[in-house]
Amino acid sequence: MNGLGEPRGPDFRSGTLPGHQQGPPPQTPVADGRVAAAPRGRLLVTAALVAALTGGAAGVAGARLIEGSEPAPAALPRVPAAQPPGQGQGQGRTPAQGLSATAAQVLPSVVSVETRRGSGSGFVIDGSGHVLTNAHVVGRGSTATVVLNDGRRLGATVVGEDEDEDLAVLRVGDASGLTPARLGRSSELAVGDQVLAIGSPLGLSGTVTAGIVSALDREVGLGGSSRRTAVQTDASINPGNSGGPLVNARGEVVGVNTAIATSRGGGNIGIGFAIPIDRAAPIAESIIRN
C-alpha cells in the first residue's frame, strides 16, 4: 500500500525478568519496551508503542500497570445499564451473528479522518455533527476531511483538542444523515469481555476486528509528557485506527483506539490501547462547551 507511511516508535533498552537468567541475545535488533504486569514481577515486552496513525510518526512511551479511578461520565448521551443475558441486542443469535449485528449497528457512526498530516479514524458522538478522534490525528491543523461510511466526503473544522489526553473534536458542517454512536461505560468492562475495533487501518475504511479486553487501567504515555490509563485489547489495531471506537458486544463505545505495541517491523502484535470512554466523553463535552 504505497503512500500510507510506516509507523515508527522510540527505541527502548532491553531488560530481564527479575529472578530469571537472561536468555540468548536476539539474532536481529529489536525495539524493547517495558510493561509492568502485577506486583509479583515485571514482564518484558519486546516492542515499542506507536500511535496508530497512518502516515504519522508520533511515538508514545512504554506501558505499565497502575491503579486509579476514572472521572465521572459525561453528559453526552449514554446508554442505560447493561441488560441481563438473553435480552436486547443479539438475543437468539449465535455469537457470530451477534458480532455481525453489532458491526452493522456501529459502522454508520464511524468515519475516516483525513488531514495534511495523515489519516485516522473517528466516530460521531451527537446529532450536531461532532466527531471524536485523537489529537495526534489532526495535529495542530484547523480543518479536516471526514469520510462517512457511505463514501460521502464532508469538510470539518477542529473545535478543539486536549493534547495531554490525545483527544480532539471535529464538527462537520452538514450534520444531516449522520448517525451518532451509542456511548457505553468503560467502568463496566471486565477482562475477557468481547470487543470490536472499528476504523480505517492503512486507509481501509470500515474495517472491523474482534478481540477481548486484555487488561484494565494499563498506564501508557499519550500525546503529552504525562501518562494516562488505557484499556488494553488484543483486537487488531493498526496505523489508521487512531480515533476509532472500541465497542462492546452491545454496540456501545467503550474506548477510543489510540496506540499499539509493535515490533520494529511495525504492525499489530496483539497489544493495543484505547482511551476509556468514561474519561474521553467528559473531555469531549468540555471541548464542545468551551
* Active-site annotation, residues: 136, 166, 242
CA-based R_g, the chain, Å: 18
Between CA 96 and CA 43 the distance in angstroms is 34
Give the Cβ contact number of residue 211 at 10 Å: 18
Which amino acid is located at 219 in the chain? E
Question: Residue 74 has which C-alpha cell?
Answer: 459525561
Between CA 189 and CA 99 the distance in angstroms is 17
Which amino acid is located at 202 in the chain? L
Between CA 199 and CA 90 the distance in angstroms is 22
Between CA 134 and CA 144 the distance in angstroms is 13
Which CA distances in Å does 187 have to 118, 147, 176, 211? Answer: 32, 31, 32, 18
Asked if residue 283 lies in contact with residue 162, where contact means CB atoms within 8 angstroms, the answer is yes
Dihedral of the alpha carbons of 198, 51, 277, 227, in degrees to the nearest 10: 160
Between CA 125 and CA 77 the distance in angstroms is 8
Between CA 263 and CA 248 the distance in angstroms is 27
